[in-house]
């Protein structure tokens, strides 16, 4: 897309200003993770691993965003899902049994759902703005995480360091690799399922129709009998549950243990992914992969070309700006035409 | 456990200093939101202001220039936001978030050469014996100029919004941009000016952090202060005086918690750090459950993009 | 035939000539948890990396990545470094423990060195740490002598054994030279957060503390001390020399260079072996920065004597008689603490008020 090309150009200029070879930089970020002979076999599946949680969360968010329901607190729901999932696993430790993992999945989804219900209920009952409530709850969730990692859930055999036991090393609770050597885990699978489900939902199911309607023409929706309250509950609930699931999959898989800084901002990045994907399930899938590409490519660029991490962050921000600008530019043009007519 | 070691006057003075960065940023965002725009990029603007202010201060040797630089930095970033949301009609939420991401990265980039450097000092108010007087002197008369500026802004913004024509127009644009447009006011231009002001204030707040409060430059040093400033605006139901109160509350809790620790009181640190946010949520609920949105005092057009063709 | 022998001869000649030079540079990787510009923990590790480059020149090639988050990202970074040909990788934070061990399992011919960890699940993993408590003993002595208010402060990061060792060591040695001294501890729950550290320092100063030690890495506490009269502090992790001669009267410096040079050399020689290394003043891993003239001459001399005593292993900072906070005996007269006890130390010594947060 045009925006990507523009970003490459602008980013290239920035890298050149830093004294690095711009072509090499762009190539390392975008091309190497996919095709470099030394790495690609490893980084390609890693793209899926990195994109998985982003896509999962973004799908949930997109439902709400389409309906004008802004869940900005996905990060907090992600954390709660991880805490609940890890909590269940630790409660069972060291017992074995196939029932543990499904229970963790349930707990993770419920945890995220419940955390999202707070802004939902407050909005329905008290008309409180869900943007701010969900955002503030992120901070509360972070404090809760710290409290758990340092206190209740701390590994008693961990030498006094904060952090829970390593769940990835506790087989019944581990979210292990499905295909050896790739790191692809159930969370990635869940993300793919979510994409398909969301696609079907939006295209075929009445709920999907209601969501689109509510977003584009709220009054018409109300006339059509769509209950705004129910929509709020459903959208926030689903996005919370998905975010919670993502958190639970991360903590029992790639991350392995619950630590103070376990959350890496996936909840916020997912918001960006949702917009990049134009709130459309297939678009989100692609956007998530693109974001993951910039992260992984960025990491490669860091140690292969000594490009500072800050530059990569700025680069990602630029990408977003360009995409937003160009996206709406086409919108604007349409309006312009309309004005001519009237 | 020695609570007598905590001196309330000194504590109050520290709280005032701690609250200044978020106070400045929140005041700026208040103006922006009064005009009907929701700029979630406060964090990005603050940190860009922090590094610009720091860099300028170190290069010129003057803190005043530093603050100016910080304000300009924040305003420049907000200009991007303004262009994207007002002319290109981009979604305000997404653009604000992109702003934060970009601001964090870009500031870290500029800041690479400035780590570990000591910025120029700024003289504190010193009225001799009066400043050293135990209560009034400590609380009010021993601060650096920016604290007073912050307080000054509170009064100034309150006065402008309430009494002046400019304030009235701003509020009109925020409440009902279609009506304002019909009356002939340039909605887009007013909003852009408001956004720039918000950016400058956020930049000032960030510069205060790097030049006075810490004073140091580090990547990501704002540590979420921008988000707190956003919450503050709602907490204060868009009233400048209440912003001051809220800022003191937030700043106060952190400072108090540390002081309690120092005097030996055992408190669960993590739970205490949750309290400002929980209290804010509570206040939000209470206010919005009142007599509808009017009670909330939120500008009715907040977050909605203005299309002149409608 | 002739051409072939010529070719063979040429190749042989080149091979012989190149043999000494054909040794491809050893790729050494460094994984940092923070930015190298932090002026503290990561900065010091990076100085170690630069020292390695200087010591070995063309024989090594170093690569590094900064601000790597712990968890899945760390594992990926380590894997990519290993895939790109690194043969020795230093992971410089406790939180990289799982990632290091996991990746070590997949790359048995790559050597991993994990800082401040305790798990060596595979033969190609070594852990290393430094005896910071030795440095604290010296700083504690200076603090005890210099305090006018008899209140010294310690900004702790997390309640873990390493920090508790520091607190205990500081207190024991301050008390030795000043029986009336009192130690105030504030837990910042961060390794690096200038704003929080400044606040913690301010809170202490307001309560009468006039000497501040910090286990957190920024210069913020010193900046705070600089704007208060009569308060001194110490550089932490790096020298923080811009605050000389006061309030920074000395510093405790992490010096990883000797250890890194040694280990890289071991890989180059082929003598690398798994070990758990814990060096201190004697190995130059902990260095006490210049004691400035703000410190009276006899205090300076006392500190320097202590440094020498520790360096020559004549004196161990944890030598009995020492009781635990609850009064029970920990070390008898003349008894020296075992490394094992120190590594799991989660109790204060007698005389410190307050509890370790759980």
A332 touches chain B (CB under 8 A): yes
Report the alpha-carbon distance of residue C279 to residue C277 in Å, rounded. 6
Residue A156 has pLDDT above 90, yes or no: no
Rounded to 5°, angle at Cα A125 from A83 and A218: 100
| Mean pLDDT score across all residues of chain A | 78
B154-181 residues labelled b (16+ CB within 10 A) or e (exposed): beebbebbeeeeebebbbbbbbbbeebb
Q: Can you tell me the mean pLDDT for A143-161?
A: 75
Q: Residue B295: list chain A partners with CB under 8 A.
A: none
Please say whether the structural domain C132-253+288-343 has been given the CATH code 3.40.50.2300: yes
Q: Looking at chain A, which residue has its C-alpha nearest residue B273?
A: A143
Provide the residue range defining the domain that includes B280: 3-119+139-295
Contact predicate C215/C155, CB 8 Å? yes
Q: Are A266 and A75 in contact (CB under 8 A)?
A: yes
How many domains does chain A fold into?
Answer: 1
Shortest Cα distance, chain A CAs vs residue C80, angstroms? 7
* Alpha-carbon distance C199 to nearest alpha carbon in chain B (angstroms): 7
In this prediction, residue A37 carries a pLDDT of 65
Residue B276, SS3 per DSSP: helix
- Which residues of chain C have a Cβ shorter than 8 Å from any chain B Cβ? 35, 37-39, 43, 67, 153, 184-187, 189, 192-196, 198-200, 202-204, 206-209, 218-220, 223, 227, 242-243, 353-355, 357
Residue B130 lies in a domain: no
Q: What percent of chain A has pLDDT over 90?
A: 11
- On chain C, the residues whose CB falls within 8 A of the CB of A145 are none
- DSSP assignment of A1-34 equals -HHHHHHHHHHHHHHHHTTS-HHHHHIIIIIHHH
pLDDT at B239 exceeding the cut of 70: yes
- Convert C294-324 into a string of H (helix), E (strand) and C (coil): CCCHHHHHHHHHHHHHHHCCCCCCCECCEEE
Whether B120 and chain C come into contact, CB under 8 Å, resolves to no
Q: Give C37's contacts in chain B (Cβ within 8 Å).
A: 111-112, 115-116, 219
Nearest to A133 among B104, B284, B307 (CB): B284
Q: Which bin fits A294, alpha (ψ -120 to 50), beta or left (φ > 0)?
A: alpha
Is A28 a member of any domain? no
Nearest chain C alpha carbon to A258 = C71
User: What pLDDT score was predicted for residue A79?
Assistant: 92
| Residue B291, Cβ density class (10 Å: 0-12 exposed, 13-18 middle, ≥19 buried) | exposed
**Element (DSSP H or E) covering residue C63:** strand C60-65
Do the Cβ atoms of A329 and B285 come within 8 Å? no
Cβ-nearest to A321 among B102, B231, B307: B102
C71/A259 touch (CB, cutoff 8 Å), yes or no: yes
Please, which pLDDT band fits residue A341 given cuts at 50, 70 and 90?
Answer: very low
| Residues of chain B contacting residue C210, judged by C-beta atoms under 8 Å apart | none
What pLDDT does residue A329 have? 52
- pLDDT surpassing 50 at residue B294: no
Domain contains A329: no
**Ranges in chain C, pLDDT < 50:** 1, 9-11, 13, 15-21
Lowest mean pLDDT among A210-224, B37-51, C309-323: A210-224
- Closest of A82, A80, A74 to residue A56, by C-alpha: A74
CATH number at residue A271: 1.10.3470
Closest Cα in chain A, distance from residue B130 (Å): 41
Distance from CA of B192 to the nearest CA of A (A): 17
Q: Give the pLDDT confidence score for residue B308 in this predicted structure.
A: 55
Task: Tell me, yes or no, whether B276 lies in a domain.
Answer: yes
Pick from C203, C218, C227: CB nearest B258: C203
> Does residue A33 have a pLDDT over 60?
yes
Parent domain of A112? 43-322
Band of residue A205 on the pLDDT scale cut at 50, 70, 90: confident
Q: Is the Cβ pair B269, C39 closer than 8 Å?
A: no
Contact B262 C195 (CB under 8 A): no
Report how many domains make up chain B: 1
Interface A:B, Cβ pairs < 8 A:
146
Share of chain B above pLDDT 90, in %: 16
Residues of C within 8 A of A304 (CB-CB) are: 63, 84
CA–CA gap between residue C220 and residue C198 (Å, rounded): 5
> How close B264 comes to chain C (CA, Å)?
6
Could you read off the pLDDT of A222-244 as tens digits, one per residue?
777 777 788 888 889 999 999 99
C223 contact residues in B (CB cutoff 8 A): 118, 214-216
Residues 6+ apart with CB under 8 A from B171: B34, B161, B299
Residue A311 lies in a domain: yes
Residue B79 to chain C, least CA–CA distance (Å): 28
Q: Is residue A68 part of a domain?
A: yes
Whether chain B has a CB inside 8 Å of the CB on A337: the answer is no
Q: Which of A160, A255, A304 sits opposite C160 (nearest CB)?
A: A160
% of chain A at pLDDT higher than 70: 80
Q: Is C221 helix (H, G, I), strand (E, B) or coil?
A: helix
* Structure-block tokens of residue C183: 């130690």
- Cα(C240)–Cα(C204) distance, integer angstroms: 20
- Min Cα distance C167 → chain B (Å) is 14
pLDDT value, residue C15: 47
**ipTM of this model?**
0.73
Distance from CA of B288 to the nearest CA of A (A): 5
Indicate whether A328 pLDDT > 70: no
Of A50, A159, A257, nearest to C118 by CB-CB distance is A159
Contact (CB<8Å) C37/B115: yes
Give CA–CA dist A255/A250, Å, rounded.
6
Model pLDDT, residue A177: 66
Instruction: Categorise residue A130: left if φ over 0, alpha if ψ from -120 to 50, beta otherwise.
Output: alpha
Residue C33 Cα, gap to closest chain B Cα (Å):
13
Model confidence at B29: pLDDT above 90: yes
Cβ of B14 and C202 within 8 Å? yes
Q: Is residue B43 part of a domain?
A: yes
For residues C164 and C195, the answer to whether their CB atoms sit within 8 Å is: no
Tell me the β-bridge partners of C154.
C185, C213
Distance to chain B for C240, nearest Cα, Å: 8
The whole-angstrom distance between residue B51's C-alpha and the CA centroid of its chain comes to 16
Which residues in chain C are closer than 8 Å to A256, comparing Cβ atoms?
Answer: 71, 98
Instruction: Report the CATH number at residue B113.
Output: 1.10.3470.10
Any chains having at least 3 CB pairs less than 8 A from chain C are A, B
pLDDT score of C335:
86
Chain B hits for A320, Cβ within 8 Å:
94, 97-98, 101-102
Rg (CA), chain B: 20
Least confident of A119-133, B219-233, B255-269: B255-269
- With respect to residue A132, please indicate whether it lies within any of the assigned structural domains: yes
Domain covering C24-131+256-279, topology: Rossmann fold (3.40.50)
pLDDT digits over B255-269, tens only? Answer: 777 777 777 666 666
Q: Pick the residue with more confidence: C174 or A3?
A: C174
- Which residues in C lie closer than 8 A to residue A163 (C-beta atoms)? 95
Which residues of chain A does C76 touch, with a Cβ-Cβ cutoff of 8 Å? 46, 50, 296, 299
Q: What's residue B107's pLDDT?
A: 84
The answer to whether position B90 is within a domain reads yes
* Partners of residue B117 in chain C, C-beta under 8 Å: 242
User: Who wins on pLDDT, B47 or B8?
Assistant: B47
Question: What pLDDT score does B42 carry?
Answer: 92
Contact C84 A262 (CB under 8 A): no
Between chains, do A259 and C35 touch, taking CB under 8 Å as contact? Answer: no
Asked whether the predicted pLDDT for residue A339 surpasses 60, the reply is no
The domain spans of chain C are 24-131+256-279, 132-253+288-343
A2 pLDDT above the threshold of 70: no
pLDDT for B235 equals 75
Question: Residues of C with CB below 8 A from A166's CB?
Answer: 98
Give the Å distances, CA to CA, from C192 to B37, B119, C218: 35, 19, 6
DSSP codes of every residue in B105-150: HHHHHHGGGGTTPPPPP-PPP--TTTTTSTTHHHHHSS--HHHHHH
Nearest CA in chain B to C187: B261
Residue C63: list chain A partners with CB under 8 A: 303-304
pTM of the shown model: 0.78
Question: Hey, is A333 helix, strand or coil?
Answer: helix
By three-state DSSP, how is residue C183 classified?
A: strand
pLDDT on residue B88: 77
């Amino acid at each position: 897309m045009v925006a990507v090309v523009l970003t490459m150009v602008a980013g290239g200029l920035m890298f050149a200003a830093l004294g690095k070879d711009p072509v090499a930089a762009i190539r390392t970020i975008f091309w190497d993770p996919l095709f470099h002979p030394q790495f690609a076999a490893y980084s390609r599946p890693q793209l899926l691993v990195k994109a998985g949680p982003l896509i999962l969360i973004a799908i949930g968010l997109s439902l709400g965003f389409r309906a004008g329901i802004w869940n900005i607190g996905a990060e907090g729901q992600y954390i709660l899902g991880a805490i609940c999932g890890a909590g269940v696993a630790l409660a069972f430790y060291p017992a074995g049994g196939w029932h543990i993992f499904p229970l963790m999945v349930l707990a993770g989804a419920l945890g995220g759902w419940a955390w999202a219900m707070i802004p939902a209920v407050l909005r329905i009952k008290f008309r409180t703005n869900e943007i701010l409530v969900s955002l503030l709850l992120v901070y509360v969730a972070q404090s809760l995480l710290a409290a758990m990692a340092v206190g209740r859930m701390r590994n008693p055999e961990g030498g006094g360091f904060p952090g829970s036991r390593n769940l990835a090393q506790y087989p019944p609770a581990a979210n292990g690799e499905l295909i050896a050597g790739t790191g692809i885990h159930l969370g990635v699978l869940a993300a793919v399922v979510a994409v398909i489900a969301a696609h079907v939902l939006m295209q075929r199911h009445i709920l999907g129709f209601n969501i689109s309607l509510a977003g584009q023409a709220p009054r018409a929706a109300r006339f059509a009998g769509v209950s705004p309250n129910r929509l709020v509950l459903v959208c926030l609930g689903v996005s919370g549950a998905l975010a919670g699931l993502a958190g639970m999959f991360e903590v029992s898989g790639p991350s392995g243990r619950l630590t103070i800084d376990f959350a890496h901002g996936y909840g916020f990045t997912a918001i960006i992914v949702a917009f990049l994907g134009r709130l459309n399930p297939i678009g989100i899938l692609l956007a998530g992969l693109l974001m993951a590409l910039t992260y992984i490519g960025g990491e490669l660029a860091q140690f292969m070309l000594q490009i500072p991490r800050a530059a990569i962050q700025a680069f990602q921000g630029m990408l977003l700006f360009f995409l937003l600008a160009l996206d709406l530019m086409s919108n604007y043009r349409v309006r312009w035409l309309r004005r001519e007519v009237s | 456990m020695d609570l007598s070691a905590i001196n309330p006057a000194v504590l109050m003075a520290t709280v005032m200093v701690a609250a200044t960065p978020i106070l400045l940023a929140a005041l700026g965002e208040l103006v922006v939101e009064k005009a009907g725009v929701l700029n979630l990029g406060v964090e990005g603007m603050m940190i860009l202001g922090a590094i610009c202010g720091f860099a300028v201060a170190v290069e010129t040797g003057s803190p005043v220039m530093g603050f100016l630089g910080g304000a300009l930095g924040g305003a420049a970033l907000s200009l991007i936001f303004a262009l994207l949301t007002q002319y290109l009609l981009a979604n305000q939420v997404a653009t604000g978030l992109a702003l934060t991401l970009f601001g964090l990265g870009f500031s870290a980039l500029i800041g690479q050469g400035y780590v570990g450097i000591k910025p120029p000092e700024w003289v504190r108010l010193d009225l001799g014996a009066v400043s050293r007087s135990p209560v009034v002197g400590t609380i009010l008369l021993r601060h650096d100029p920016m604290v007073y500026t912050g307080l000054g802004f509170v009064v100034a913004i309150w006065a402008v919004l309430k009494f002046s024509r400019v304030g009235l127009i701003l509020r009109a644009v925020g409440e009902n941009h279609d009506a304002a447009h019909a009356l002939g006011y340039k909605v887009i231009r007013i909003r852009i000016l408001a956004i720039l002001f918000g950016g400058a204030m956020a930049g000032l707040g960030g510069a205060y952090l790097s030049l006075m409060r810490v004073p140091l430059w580090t990547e990501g040093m704002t540590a979420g202060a921008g988000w707190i400033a956003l919450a503050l605006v709602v907490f204060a139901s868009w009233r400048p005086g209440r912003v001051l109160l809220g800022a003191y509350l937030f700043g106060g809790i952190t400072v108090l918690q540390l002081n309690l620790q120092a005097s030996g009181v055992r408190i669960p640190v993590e739970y205490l750090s949750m309290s400002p946010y929980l209290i804010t949520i509570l206040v939000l609920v209470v206010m919005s459950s009142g007599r509808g949105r009017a009670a909330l005092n939120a500008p009715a057009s907040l977050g909605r993009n203005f299309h002149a063709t409608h | 035939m002739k051409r072939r022998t010529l070719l063979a001869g040429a190749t042989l000649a080149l091979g012989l000539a190149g043999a000494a030079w054909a040794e491809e540079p050893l790729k050494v990787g460094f994984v940092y948890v923070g930015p190298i510009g932090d002026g503290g923990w990561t900065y010091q590790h990076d100085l170690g990396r630069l020292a390695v480059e200087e010591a070995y020149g063309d024989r090594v090639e170093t690569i590094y990545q900064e601000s790597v988050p712990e968890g899945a990202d760390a594992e990926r970074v380590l894997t990519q470094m290993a895939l790109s040909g690194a043969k020795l990788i230093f992971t410089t934070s406790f939180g990289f423990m799982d990632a290091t061990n996991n990746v070590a399992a997949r790359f048995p011919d790559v050597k991993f060195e994990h800082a401040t960890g305790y798990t060596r699940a595979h033969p190609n993993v070594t852990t290393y740490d430094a005896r910071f408590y030795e440095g604290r003993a010296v700083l504690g002595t200076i603090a005890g002598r210099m305090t006018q208010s008899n209140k010294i402060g310690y900004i702790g990061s997390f309640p873990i054994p390493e920090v508790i060792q520091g607190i205990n060591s500081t207190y024991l040695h301050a008390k030795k030279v000043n029986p009336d001294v009192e130690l105030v501890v504030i837990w910042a729950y961060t390794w690096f957060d200038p704003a929080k550290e400044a606040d913690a320092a301010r809170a202490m100063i307001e309560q009468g503390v006039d000497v501040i030690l910090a286990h957190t890495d920024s210069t913020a506490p010193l900046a705070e001390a600089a704007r208060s009269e009569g308060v001194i502090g110490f550089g932490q992790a790096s020298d923080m020399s811009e605050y000389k001669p006061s309030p920074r009267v000395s510093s405790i410096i992490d010096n990883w260079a000797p250890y890194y040079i040694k280990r890289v050399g071991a890989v180059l020689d082929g003598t690398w072996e798994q070990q758990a290394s814990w060096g201190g003043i004697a190995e130059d891993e902990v260095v006490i920065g210049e004691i400035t003239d703000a410190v009276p001459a006899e205090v300076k001399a006392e500190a320097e004597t202590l440094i020498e005593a520790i360096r020559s292993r004549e004196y161990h900072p944890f030598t009995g008689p020492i009781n635990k906070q609850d009064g029970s005996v920990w070390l008898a007269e003349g008894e020296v603490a075992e490394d094992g006890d120190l590594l799991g130390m989660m109790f204060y010594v007698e005389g410190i008020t307050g509890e370790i947060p759980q």
